[in-house]
Amino acid sequence: MPALSVNLFKEINLYSIKEINKFKTLTSSGTSGKKSEIILDRETALLQQKALTKISGNFLGNKRLPMLIVENEKILNNSNQFSASAAAIRGFSIFGKDKCFILDEYYQIDQKKIDSFLKKYKNEKILIFGFTFQIWKSLIKNKNFKINNKCIVLHGGGWKKMQNISVNNMKFKKFVRDKINAEKIIDYYGMVEQVGSIFMECEKGFFHCSNLSDILIRNEKLDILPNKQLGIIQMMSLLPWSYPGHNILTEDLGTIHGEDDCKCGRFGKYFTVFGRVPNSEIRGCSDTGISG
């Protein structure tokens, strides 16, 4: 099965179901103005939600926590067509209760809203979810933001902006720990073209494949590379039924470190993402769930 280039989804509206069975449309944004439009039927949407819940639960636990979402709630207004940012919020919301969106319409934090929320749950652990750069901008670099609750911070996307200010994953984690009483800080990797096939970051700092997904690393000639070599990431998934998203060649560079022997104890391939292929289109990472 040849892999489809991720950019093909921006050029052609690819789906394999009848018009009457269209259920939701997911979109990504790009600086060029072109967008991937991913068509889901009910079955695919359900499969992807179940997979996201199962995979993420292994890292987040099964207990629902009071949830702060670093976003404006209007992002969820359109229930039939929404960005992958909204899809991620909807997906991860299953791990939260009493969800509190903390950004106003001008994307400034509503401190009174936060204070009220934290007062209500002052003795409980909370879940903070947001896109990496938004968490950095709104919480970490905001001198007025304070939190004493123990928490889990779940974040993804926005790494291009973080690289522009010379903040990598390790430095980001250090700043978060210094600012927030974080028990866990978890990054995730994925894209709108293969929503549901999410790769979560383990305690040792590696992304993991689930038993529903796989990756290969290829060189510029598209030859498969052995472990520990840097190349282009190819993502595979069992989940898409309504569109041909099973086998995608991304624009991201990565390295597979091993399989079934990660020191975190989880099985499967584990890998690192290092950013974009040089000269590839710079996409709206925060809107696609990409990190690296």
CATH number at residue 145: 3.40.50.12780
Question: Is residue 82 a part of any domain in this protein?
Answer: yes
- Bridge partners, residue 234, by sequence: 216, 249
Give 280 or 126, the one with higher predicted confidence: 126
Domain housing 34: 4-287
Could you report the per-residue pLDDT of 66-99, keeping only the tens digit for each? 999 999 988 887 666 567 778 888 889 889 998 9
SS3 content of the chain, % helix, strand, coil (to 5): 30, 30, 40
Q: What is the pLDDT of residue 282?
A: 46
Count CB-CB contacts under 10 A for residue 80: 8
Each residue of 112-127: pLDDT tens digit? 899 899 899 988 999 9
Give the model's pLDDT for residue 30.
Answer: 53
Cα 202 to its chain centre, rounded Å, is 14
50's tokens: 């179940």
Instruction: For residue 4, name the pLDDT band (cuts at 50, 70, 90).
Output: very high
Q: How confident is the model at residue 195 (pLDDT cuts 50, 70, 90)?
A: confident
Which DSSP letter does residue 148 get? -
What span, in angstroms and rounded, lies between the C-alpha atoms of 32 and 282? 8
Cα Dmax for the chain: 57
Give yes or no for a contact between 126 and 75, defined as CB atoms under 8 angstroms apart: no
The DSSP string of 165-211 is TT--HHHHHHHHHHHS-EEEEEEEE--GGGTT--EEE-TTS-EE--T
Query: What pLDDT, on a 0 to 100 scale, did the predictor assign at position 122?
Result: 86
Q: What is the pTM of this model?
A: 0.88
**In the chain, how many domains are there?**
1
Residue 292 belongs to a domain: no
Asked whether residue 69 is domain-assigned, the answer is yes
- The answer to whether the beta carbons of residues 49 and 40 sit under 8 Å apart is no
pLDDT at 280: 61
pLDDT digits (tens, 9 = 90+) for 108-165: 888 889 989 989 998 899 999 999 999 999 999 888 787 888 899 999 887 778 888 8
pLDDT band at 287 (very low <50, low <70, confident <90, very high): very low
Helix axes 84-92, 42-60, angle to 10 degrees: 60
Residue 119 located in a structural domain:
yes
The one-character DSSP state at 230 is -
Average pLDDT over the chain, rounded to an integer: 87
Alpha-helical segments (H) within 95-157:
111-120, 132-135
The DSSP bridge partners found for residue 224 are 218
Average pLDDT over residues 280-291: 42
What pLDDT was estimated at residue 284? 42
Count of beta carbons in the 10 Å neighbourhood of residue 144: 7
In a domain, 187, yes or no: yes
User: pLDDT tens-digit profile of 250-262?
Assistant: 999 999 999 999 9
Close Cβ partners of 178 (under 8 Å, ≥ 6 residues apart)? none
pLDDT computed for residue 291 by the predictor: 36
